[in-house]
């Protein structure tokens, strides 16, 4: 008995919502019906959740693409004007460091085997005496648009010179590679433009 009397004391669900609608639509109420619209709030929360999921997926994909791009070694072309004994050892050591590096690979010409992409360049000139070699180097970029149509840009600020004696020629080549790597990874180097 009590339960049936208890039910009669509570208003029906439809009466509660009718009362809320009457209050919110009355002339003296500053409330809007959207405040009470829980479906709109629920839809907004779902769309925000979907947008957050989309942003996280996009961030993950961009991270994967960046990681894959970082794993591809960049081509390096070494252009030389050296013909001495010491400078040959220096250049051999430099080319060996490039070849064994995971960040770079040796390109045999500016077209990079007809790939026609951007190639990093190391331009080297040497002068040699019997026990010492002077090695001047500068770094740049090149891109070929055909076998005989290549554009080259050299950064004059990267010009450096090294003196290499016959006892440390291999170390000199390693030092040249280290300087090149520091130049390429430097965040403050000027941007080179190919025209």
- pLDDT, tens digit, 9 for 90 and up, residues 116-149: 889 999 999 999 998 999 999 999 999 988 888 8
Contact 136, 160 (CB under 8 A): yes
Best-predicted range by mean pLDDT (8-12, 30-34, 61-65, 105-109): 105-109
Using left for φ > 0, alpha for ψ between -120 and 50, and beta otherwise, residue 114 falls in left
Contact 73, 103 (CB under 8 A): yes
The span from the CA of 180 to the CA of 100, in Å, is: 15
Q: Which pLDDT band holds residue 69 (cuts at 50, 70, 90)? A: low
* pLDDT score at 175: 96
For residue 126, list its beta bridge partners: 135
Q: Residue 39 pLDDT > 80, yes or no? A: no
Q: How many CA atoms lie within 13 A of 28 on its CB side?
A: 0
Write down how long the chain is: 195
DSSP tag of 73: P
* pLDDT score at 11: 53
Q: Which pLDDT band holds residue 1 (cuts at 50, 70, 90)? A: very low
Lowest mean pLDDT among 56-65, 96-105, 157-166: 56-65
Domain positions in the chain:
14-70, 74-185
């Amino acid at each position: 008995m009590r339960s049936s009397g208890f039910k009669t004391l509570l208003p029906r669900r439809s009466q509660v919502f009718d009362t809320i609608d009457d209050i919110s639509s009355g002339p003296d109420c500053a409330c809007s019906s959207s405040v009470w619209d829980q479906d709109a709030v629920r839809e907004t929360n779902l769309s925000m959740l979907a947008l957050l999921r989309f942003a996280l997926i996009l961030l993950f994909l961009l991270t994967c693409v960046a990681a894959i791009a970082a794993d591809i070694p960049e081509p390096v072309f070494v252009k030389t004007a050296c013909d001495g004994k010491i400078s040959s050892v220096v250049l051999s050591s430099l080319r060996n460091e490039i070849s064994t590096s995971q960040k770079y690979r040796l390109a045999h010409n500016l077209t990079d085997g007809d790939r026609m992409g951007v190639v990093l360049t190391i331009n080297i000139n040497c002068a040699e005496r019997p026990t010492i070699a002077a090695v001047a180097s500068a770094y740049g970029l090149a891109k070929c648009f055909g076998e005989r149509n290549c554009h080259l840009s050299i950064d004059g600020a990267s010009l450096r010179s090294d003196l290499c004696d016959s006892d440390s020629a291999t170390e000199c080549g390693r030092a040249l590679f280290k300087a090149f790597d520091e130049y390429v990874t430097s965040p403050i180097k000027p941007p080179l433009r190919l025209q």
